[in-house]
Structure 1
């Protein structure tokens, strides 16, 4: 079935994912989780409550109990899983996908992700074959409200924040619930954009990476002379930032800034950054007294590596930021709090603070359609064998004055190139050179 992805379940409602399918998914997840307690939350999409009910029906039919913690963001679902000591958790959401979609994100105990190789394939097989355990007796559904505890948890990350004016764009998604919990407790002047929960996403896509999605935010930051713009995606696990000049700030720069701020009180701690990040990120981490670790792309890999390394923080180019004190999970609001902490401590404009980080020239991610992805990676390995090669995720090769990473897409016949160099000329020359290898027949 095409709805079972590498990290979650997602599909068009009701053609691909509907109440009948969701009940089976609930049964399969109940069988997959060894314990008895499954926490379940859902976002504001139009079909989410109805899909939640079908999922819960499936779970209790297998003799497991459902803790219904209601309307929630994905980060709040990770918190609930830990706070409620659940054996597993399901979050009904399609994250930043358009309104026609819905889906589920799964975790086991302690909000450890369930992805393709760690359970989704197994769940898919159970659903496809209607292969469910025979059980006697039903489970029960119990409602729990975790909002107050979650609010206290979020506010525990706030340092001495004062005197800032911030525009916050929630895209009619769950970020508005999360941000509203802390709004009064952080001492900033908030100008809200699209805080009304609306699964139709009437104003713009709930994906800040999409062309045009942050235009209104940029415009409002300039008009209001704000210090910062904050944009959440639909389920609030990702966040993006706009500086005081109305420019979108690259997520690897945000990783560097948050790392610097965290390391003020946590020298020597491990900090992870994804291998597409600018050279400036490990430079800032090391300069700030941190122990930098390069990770592969993808939340389940990063969370696993954070646990192995006991990393205090990790940042990904896709706008995911992870915190050890947040159960090794990602949170848009906690990342926003750390940026506010940083700006307050520095007392300078964000545009000024990121200027010194712009030392290198990056291509951004460039996709190329390639049928035999492995063959191309082998060709690149051979051509650039003089460089320092890492096969952590696709291939990354570092030279003295430039580096590149080429990694295969999980779901499509695409290779994704990220490249950076010390000069613009070198970046353009090497970009064209590497692309000519990738795109040659």
Structure 2
């Protein structure tokens, strides 16, 4: 089934993500995990209200109890699963940053480990595919007498966040937050009401049709309103959440976007002050500045594949303190290796407060190269393109990796081309020692990909 992706279930509603399919997935999830109690949350998409009762039907028909944690961001959902002993697993109804016509499901075990393409999702897909229409009738009938419990988790989540970052460590900064009409508008007010900052909210109204812009901070066009507001309000920093608020982007006081890998470097630097020598991971699209910053601050580092399931697994295996992705996901050992955007935001506010300099000056200390940003290509034969790149560059490269797509490192420049795990495209990231070389090499590689 095409809705089963590398990390989750996602598709168009109601063409692909139907109440019937979601019901069957709920039943299969319980059978696969053996969960007795499942926490279920949802974001603000209107279709979530349609899918939620049928997901509950499937879960309860398989013999498990449902605890409704209500409208939640994905970090808040994660917290609701891992911090209460009675919750064996959880399902979140969300399509993250995808447009309004999409919805989907994210899955989590009670210990915080995800269920993805290499950790159970194919088995659940197989179970769903084997169900018949008669099974669906039985599922509905078997769940009729079951009750859905409810649980409020926001206060406990706030207590957890502020047990790790003291309010007194944050100055009365001028902050702009763009929630993009997503779940950040539900959580951010609770955070900032405790802080001495002066916060200007943007698009905090929960609206799953995303009337102002797509809630995806990795796309520069979605950051323009935030950039303008930071400049016009003379703010010290701006933040932008994605739809389910598990990612966060940042803009400095000059209105310039700070890329996700540079945010990783800044967070690593801050965390290493309290955890000297810790191991930190970053995805292979990241600037070399990240590894250099970690080494300069006395930490250990390693690169990872792209994708939360791979990163969380590697963090556990290597006992990593922290990991960051270019896409704006930031993972913390303190939160069971899960991506918690709100904690990243608080750490960044603390860093800016303690440093005292403008954010742009702090960023300038860790940016040493010219990066292309991520460039996407629609190609008919992805493997043919990758084979062509290998034939052209492998023998010339000082280092080569096929960990995730292909990565060629020539010393003063490098690039990675990888197939998307969620879309039918190839993604290029390239970095060089200066702007001139970056533009030259980008044109060269783009020509080969496009030929």
Deviation, structure 1 residue 374: 3.4
Please give the alpha-carbon distance, in whole angstroms, between the structure 1 residues aligned to 2:199 and 2:448.
49
1:20 aligns with 2:31: no
Q: Is the 8 A contact 2:320 2:333 kept in 1?
A: yes
**Where in structure 1 are there 5+ consecutive unaligned residues?**
none
Deviation, structure 1 residue 211: 4.7
Deviation, structure 1 residue 143: 1.4
1:324 aligns with 2:324: no
Which stretch has the larger CA shift, 307-316 or 200-209?
Answer: 200-209
Equivalent position of 1:52 in the other structure: 52
- Give the TM-score normalised by structure 1: 0.94
Which stretch has the larger CA shift, 275-284 or 129-138?
Answer: 129-138
Please give the alpha-carbon distance, in whole angstroms, between the structure 1 residues aligned to 2:183 and 2:315.
26
Q: Is the 8 A contact 1:158 1:186 kept in 2?
A: no
Equivalent position of 2:92 in the other structure: 91
| SS, match of residue 49 in structure 2 | helix
Equivalent position of 1:175 in the other structure: 184
Equivalences for residues 283-362 of structure 1 within 5 A: 283-362=292-371
1:421 aligns with 2:432: yes
Please give the alpha-carbon distance, in whole angstroms, between the structure 1 residues aligned to 2:212 and 2:73.
19
Please give the alpha-carbon distance, in whole angstroms, between the structure 2 residues aligned to 1:76 and 1:162.
25
| SS, match of residue 201 in structure 2 | strand
Deviation, structure 1 residue 140: 4.5
Equivalent position of 2:105 in the other structure: 104
Matched length:
440
Please give the alpha-carbon distance, in whole angstroms, between the structure 2 residues aligned to 1:67 and 1:412.
33
Please give the alpha-carbon distance, in whole angstroms, between the structure 2 residues aligned to 1:400 and 1:206.
36
Equivalent position of 2:64 in the other structure: 64
Q: Is the 8 A contact 1:255 1:314 kept in 2?
A: yes
Deviation, structure 1 residue 20: 2.1
Please give the alpha-carbon distance, in whole angstroms, between the structure 1 residues aligned to 2:213 and 2:421.
27
1:271 aligns with 2:280: yes
Equivalent position of 1:113 in the other structure: 114
Structure 1 residues 45-65: Cα deviation after superposition (integer angstroms, max 9, x where no partner): 112123111101111011111
Equivalent position of 1:384 in the other structure: 394
Equivalent position of 2:229 in the other structure: 220
Equivalent position of 1:258 in the other structure: 267
Structure 1 residues 353-408: Cα deviation after superposition (integer angstroms, max 9, x where no partner): 11233321112222334444334434433433242112211121222211111212
**Where in structure 2 are there 5+ consecutive unaligned residues?**
none
Deviation, structure 1 residue 194: 1.5
Deviation, structure 1 residue 412: 4.8
| SS, match of residue 385 in structure 1 | helix
Please give the alpha-carbon distance, in whole angstroms, between the structure 1 residues aligned to 2:372 and 2:66.
47
1:398 aligns with 2:405: no
1:234 aligns with 2:235: no
Please give the alpha-carbon distance, in whole angstroms, between the structure 2 residues aligned to 1:315 and 1:156.
22
Deviation, structure 1 residue 88: 1.4
Q: Is the 8 A contact 1:157 1:338 kept in 2?
A: no
Please give the alpha-carbon distance, in whole angstroms, between the structure 2 residues aligned to 1:285 and 1:82.
29
Q: Is the 8 A contact 2:5 2:421 kept in 1?
A: no
Structure 1 residues 97-138: Cα deviation after superposition (integer angstroms, max 9, x where no partner): 112221111112222111123222222222222167999975
Structure 1 residues 321-343: Cα deviation after superposition (integer angstroms, max 9, x where no partner): 11111110112211111110110
Please give the alpha-carbon distance, in whole angstroms, between the structure 2 residues aligned to 1:434 and 1:233.
30
Q: Is the 8 A contact 1:8 1:115 kept in 2?
A: yes
Please give the alpha-carbon distance, in whole angstroms, between the structure 1 residues aligned to 2:335 and 2:449.
40
Please give the alpha-carbon distance, in whole angstroms, between the structure 2 residues aligned to 1:217 and 1:368.
27
Please give the alpha-carbon distance, in whole angstroms, between the structure 2 residues aligned to 1:54 and 1:359.
52
Please give the alpha-carbon distance, in whole angstroms, between the structure 2 residues aligned to 1:399 and 1:215.
34
Which stretch has the larger CA shift, 269-278 or 359-368?
Answer: 359-368
1:129 aligns with 2:138: no
The alpha-carbon distance between structure 1 residues 254 and 211, as it changes in their structure 2 partners (threshold 3 A), is closer
| SS, match of residue 298 in structure 2 | coil
Please give the alpha-carbon distance, in whole angstroms, between the structure 2 residues aligned to 1:150 and 1:72.
11
1:437 aligns with 2:444: no
Which stretch has the larger CA shift, 219-228 or 208-217?
Answer: 208-217
Please give the alpha-carbon distance, in whole angstroms, between the structure 1 residues aligned to 2:52 and 2:231.
41
Equivalent position of 1:4 in the other structure: 4
